[in-house]
Amino acid sequence: MFDNGSINFDILKRRAYNLRWATVPEGVIPLTAADPDFPCAPEIAEDVCRFAKERYFCYGPPEGLPEFRESMAGYFQNKRGIPAAPDHIFPVDSAAFGIYITCKAFLSPGDEAIIFDPVDFLFRYSIETVGAKAVPFAIPPGTDIVDFELLEKLINNNTKLICLCNPLNPTGKVFTRQELESLGKIAIKYNLLILSDEIWSDIIFSPYQYTSVASVNEEIRDSTITITGFSKAYGLAGLRIGAVMASNPGHYKKLLEASLHNSTVHGANVVSQVAATTALNKCVYWLEDFLKHLQAMRDLCVGELNTVNGFKCIAPEGCYVAFVNITGTKKNSKEVQQLLMDKAKVAVVPGLKEWFGEGAEGFIRLSFATSEDVLADALSRIKSTVNSL
Given the rule CB under 6 A, which residues bind ligand PLP? 34, 94-96, 120, 122, 165, 169, 197, 199, 229, 231, 237, 242
82's enclosing H/E stretch is: none
For ligand PLP, the closer CB: 311 or 356? 356
382's enclosing H/E stretch is: helix 372-387
For ligand PLP, the closer CB: 107 or 233? 233
Measured from the CB of residue 221, what is the shortest distance to ligand PLP in angstroms? 20
Measured from the CB of residue 348, what is the shortest distance to ligand PLP in angstroms? 15
Dihedrals phi, psi of 321, to nearest 5 degrees? -130, 145
Measured from the CB of residue 284, what is the shortest distance to ligand PLP in angstroms? 19
For ligand PLP, the closer CB: 193 or 241? 241
For ligand PLP, the closer CB: 92 or 339? 92
Terminal-to-terminal C-alpha distance of the chain: 37
d(CA 186, CA 189): 5
The arrangement of strands across the sheet holding 321-325 comes to 312-313, 321-325, 363-367, 349-350
231's enclosing H/E stretch is: none
| Buried-state track 120-134, b at ≥16 Cβ within 10 A, e below 16 | bbbbbebbeebebeb
Measured from the CB of residue 365, what is the shortest distance to ligand PLP in angstroms? 10
For ligand PLP, the closer CB: 321 or 344? 321
Measured from the CB of residue 102, what is the shortest distance to ligand PLP in angstroms? 12
Measured from the CB of residue 156, what is the shortest distance to ligand PLP in angstroms? 26
For ligand PLP, the closer CB: 48 or 96? 96
d(CA 242, CA 92): 5
